[in-house]
Amino acid sequence: MEGLDLEIEEGEIIGYIGANGAGKSTTVKMLTGIMEPTSGRIEVNGRNPSEERKANAMDIGVVFGQKTQLWWDLPVRDSFRLLRKIYEVSEEEFDRRMDEFNDVLQLEDFLDTPVRKLSLGQKMRCELAAAFLHEPPIVYLDEPTIGLDVAVKERIREFVKKMNRERDTTVMLTTHDIGDIEDLCERVVVLDEGRKIYDGELDALVDRFTSRRLVLELEGGFELDMEGVLEIEDTEEGYEVVFDREEVSAADLMREVLEVYDVSDFQIREPDIESVVKKIYNEGLHE
Amino acid sequence: MNRYLEFARIGLREGVVYRANALASVATTVIYLVLMYSVWSAIAAAGTLEGSFSQVISYVALGQVVQNATSVDMENTVGEKVRKGTVVNELKRPVSFQLQMLSYQLGGSLFDTVARGVPAMAIAVVFLGVGSPGVLGGLAFLVSVVLSFALVSLMSYSLAMLTFWTKVGWSLNMMRSTLTGLFSGALFPLYLLPDGVRGLFYLTPFPSLVDAPIRIYQGGLSGSVWGVYGVQVFWILFFAVASRLMWGKARTKLTVQGG
Amino acid sequence: MSALRKHLSVYWDYFKQYWRTRLVYRWDFFLGATGQTVNVFAKLAFLTLIFTQVNSLQGWSFDEMLFLAGFSGLILFTHNVFMFNIYRLGEDYILTGDLDRFLVRPLNPLFQIYSDDVHDNNVPKVIANAALVVYASAQLGLVLSPVQLAYAALSFVSGILVVASVYLAFSSTAFWTGTSKNAIWLIFRLSDFRRYPIGVFAVFVQALLVTAVPLAFASFFPASFLLGRSAYAEWQLVSPLAGPVLFSLSYIFWRKGLSGYSSTGS
């Protein structure tokens, strides 16, 4: 990390994004007390997380995208029972919350299945329930929707929103998925090479997300004047047409282009975090 | 032929990669020899030991050398493949599964012989006064060790076939190691056994693994070297046949199950 | 719920769950148990053979040797059933980053490592060694006074802690080297020395067994006390205390390693 200044209020859901290696996991590790910063100060709910590791652990929930917080060989139900004990949740509270989670995440069907036999989507839903089981004030979600299909992603996002709404849970979400951020976060922090390069409202970044890119391979020069076309760039791969999909569709663009030009190949590109971050970095910080 | 050479090369390379294991193995051999030296010295001091102390300690040391050079574990290798289901892929290849496994094991054992067997031999000679058997004796010893290797590989492979039913290899490997330790001379010199018991031991294939090469090394056998080889070869043939039979059964099981 | 009660209650749950899943792999369990039992007998066979060559080893009779083997084995394998998992610290927890999962929970991480696996394949060995102790005691006509029984109980517990302290210290080197399995393999080999009276060994080996790898406190000293042997009296007396002291030292070493892990992450 190259020096990070970050403040998060209670009840916020913030998106924490950046390219791989930008320092997202490192930040989360420091906040959860696994790592110590070489200099500077960290305070989580009034505590230094690495010094008061156990106390801090009681107040946080974590979903590590790749690693599981559940017990591999045990049925899901038993994992939750163990967690109940570890996080000192009373039986009544436990039953109540499990009912609620079952409702939203629909875990009933596989509560008795060993974790190792679950599909990715099922496992993720369980991980989320596990993270929120003890109603921690803070939850860290590290790539929670990676590799999941749209239906499951929806359900997970619903669940997180509900928890945040009803319990004022502060959520720190690291993700590559724009859909997650669009749906959940009002505030976005962007990291690049260990430094924070953007911290602000999502709305300000929205136009980036709604723009799409059409890459055209053709001979000779290229010009296009249409509503919704934001920019045309001559790149190695061809002409990159940046357009606002709310004003013009890719189909319409293509129709126009094909009337005039001989296109040998084309590609439609969705914006990804990497290019968004690069873009932000190249254009400087927004305030 | 070349294909099998490739497997051997892989086995050898793995040995090099995990060479820390070889180092630890030499360290454990040292520890074991220190223990045996202490115990047998105390026994010899009591004055009632049959034969000489140097003979006993030399036997034990040579036992370690032979074991280090012929350490084999196909139960776990095959067991893993069965458990993961990758064994089906191996069957699709146009090579003999058995030869493939054996070649792989050969590569690994070649590494072990150098990385574990040679240091053990050095320790035996330098610290424990194990004498030289002469050039002819040395060669005869090496031949016997090679036969031991062939035998232990076939035994291990035969047991490994059981993993197609039990799915786990480590317990089979452990049992073989324990029984080998008990009956082969690795745990204690067979010549110290009372005659009747020793006779029973010799009915098993185990003495051919460790006791056989040691006896050749320590000499005093002259013509009966061929007798020792004969017994080793007998057991090699026995397990060669056994392993083919079991492999046949195992393969049938796989294809019937639709692996 | 106090922290201790919580840990105990959680452990009991882990333990129950473990057995439930264990018996799914039935063949493995059965073969493993058989193999372990055969193993115990193989070691006993060695002892028996030795005694065809002598009547006593350094003044110890066959039955006294059996007692020593059984008592020390009981301690070692009871430890192994519950606390062996630490040997995986380097390869399976530090290198994989799996330790992070434990650090994020409000539970002692060392406790979590210990309880992550129960090494039940040692249970047959525990039973066999207990039987050995009973048999040897009967053969010797050993009758223990209340004081000796109390001593036996204390030194049993202390012995387990002594073994644990050795395993913990050597495993903790993984915080610096990333590997723990090889170091533990060496310890395992060294623990074979527990079966013999300490006088059998050269002085420097004796020193080793009392300092760097102090397994003598978990075998020879308490066993010789119970057998009514008066040599090494001071060491015998100290044995019930050795466990807690040595384990505390190892625990400090462990925490040092852990704090280093925390500040660099992996």
User: What's the ipTM?
Assistant: 0.84
Interchain contact, C186 vs B182, CB within 8 Å: no
End-to-end CA separation in angstroms for chain B: 27
Higher pLDDT, C114 or A201: C114
Phi, psi of C251 (to 5 degrees): -65, -40
pLDDT digits (tens, 9 = 90+) for C3-39: 788 888 888 888 887 777 666 666 677 777 787 888 8
Higher pLDDT, C159 or B249: C159
Residues of A in contact with C6 (CB under 8 A): 85-86, 88
A63 shares its domain with A127: yes
Residues of B in contact with C42 (CB under 8 A): 178-179, 181-182, 187
Closest residue in A to C261 (Cα) is A35
What's the whole-number mean pLDDT along residues B227-240? 92
A19 shares its domain with A122: yes
List, in order, residues 6 or more apart from A106 with CB less than 8 Å away. A125, A155
Which residue, among B19, B163, B171, would best test binding to C if mutated, counting the most C CBs under 10 Å from its CB? Answer: B171
What's the whole-number mean pLDDT along residues C159-174? 96
Query: Which domain-ending residue is among A166, A201, A236?
Result: A201
Residues of C in contact with A68 (CB under 8 A): 101
Among A128, A139, A130, which Cα is nearest to A77's? A130
Q: Which of C10, C97, C108 sits opposite A82 (nearest CB)?
A: C10
Binned at pLDDT 50, 70 and 90, residue C140 comes out as very high
> What pLDDT was estimated at residue C69?
94
Residue A48 in contact with partner chain C when CB distance is under 8 A: no
> What pLDDT was estimated at residue A287?
31
Which residue, among C62, C200, C204, C220, would best test binding to B if mutated, counting the most B CBs under 10 Å from its CB? Answer: C200
> What pLDDT was estimated at residue B222?
62
What's the whole-number mean pLDDT along residues C198-209? 91
A183 shares its domain with A219: no
Residues of C in contact with B42 (CB under 8 A): 57-58, 196, 200
Which residue, among C28, C181, C188, would best test binding to B if mutated, counting the most B CBs under 10 Å from its CB? Answer: C28
Chain A, residues 107-166, CB within 8 A of chain C, namely: 114
Against chain A, the chains showing at least 3 CB pairs within 8 Å are C
CA torsion, ordered C62, C68, C73, C78, to nearest 10 deg: 140
Q: How many CB pairs under 8 A join A and C?
A: 69
Q: What is the CATH number of the domain that holds A219?
A: 3.30.70
Give the gyration radius of chain B's Cα atoms: 19
What is the distance between the alpha carbons of residues B108 and B15, in angstroms, rounded to a whole number? 6
> What pLDDT was estimated at residue B90?
74
pLDDT digits (tens, 9 = 90+) for B204-219: 999 999 999 999 998 7
Whether residue A221 has pLDDT greater than 90: no
Whether residue B182 has pLDDT greater than 90: no
Kindly state the percentage of chain A with pLDDT values over 90: 22
- Annotated domain spans of chain B: 2-257
Task: Work out the minimum CA distance from C127 to partner chain A, whole angstroms.
Answer: 27
Q: Cα angle at B10 between B5 and B12, to 5 degrees?
A: 95
What is the distance between the alpha carbons of residues C235 and C217, in angstroms, rounded to a whole number? 8
- With tokens 């882990």, the residue in question is C14
Which residue, among C105, C255, C261, would best test binding to A if mutated, counting the most A CBs under 10 Å from its CB? Answer: C105
Closest residue in B to C35 (Cα) is B175
Among C242, C202, C252, C191, which Cα is nearest to C221's? C242
Chain C, residues 42-101, CB within 8 A of chain B, namely: 42, 45-46, 49-50, 52-58
Task: Work out the minimum CA distance from C112 to partner chain A, whole angstroms.
Answer: 11
Collapsing DSSP to helix, strand or coil, A116 comes out as: helix
pLDDT digits (tens, 9 = 90+) for C60-78: 999 999 999 999 999 999 9
For every residue of A171-183, which 3-state class applies, written as one string? EEEECCCHHHHHH
* Pairing of β A13-18 and β A60-64: unpaired
Task: Domain count for chain A, please give it.
Answer: 2
> What pLDDT was estimated at residue A285?
39
- With tokens 């959680």, the residue in question is C10
Asked whether the beta carbons of B150 and B234 are under 8 A apart, the reply is no
Binned at pLDDT 50, 70 and 90, residue C266 comes out as very low
A112 shares its domain with A135: yes
Residue B139 in contact with partner chain C when CB distance is under 8 A: no
Residue A3 belongs to some domain of the structure: no
Binned at pLDDT 50, 70 and 90, residue A186 comes out as confident
A66 shares its domain with A166: yes
Interchain contact, B32 vs C189, CB within 8 Å: yes
Closest residue in A to C101 (Cα) is A69
pLDDT digits (tens, 9 = 90+) for C117-137: 888 778 889 999 999 999 999
A121 shares its domain with A183: yes
Binned at pLDDT 50, 70 and 90, residue B257 comes out as low
Closest residue in A to C105 (Cα) is A57
Q: What is the CATH number of the domain that holds A60?
A: 3.40.50.300
What is the distance between the alpha carbons of residues B28 and C191, in angstroms, rounded to a whole number? 11
> What pLDDT was estimated at residue C224?
93
What is the distance between the alpha carbons of residues B216 and B221, in angstroms, rounded to a whole number? 7
A241 shares its domain with A186: no
> What pLDDT was estimated at residue A280?
57
Q: Which of A35, A54, A64 sits opposite C263 (nearest CB)?
A: A35
Average per-residue pLDDT in chain A?
Answer: 84
Query: Which domain-ending residue is among A169, A201, A233?
Result: A201
- The answer, yes or no, to whether A and B have at least 3 beta-carbon pairs within 8 Å is no
Binned at pLDDT 50, 70 and 90, residue A90 comes out as very high
Residue A215 belongs to some domain of the structure: yes
Residues of C in contact with A58 (CB under 8 A): 106
> What pLDDT was estimated at residue B256?
64
pLDDT digits (tens, 9 = 90+) for B68-92: 888 888 888 888 888 777 777 777 7
Residues of C in contact with B182 (CB under 8 A): 42, 45
Q: Which domain holds residue A189?
A: 13-201
Whether residue C254 has pLDDT greater than 50: yes
Closest residue in B to C53 (Cα) is B49
- Token reading at C73: 């084995």
Residues of C in contact with B28 (CB under 8 A): 185-186, 189
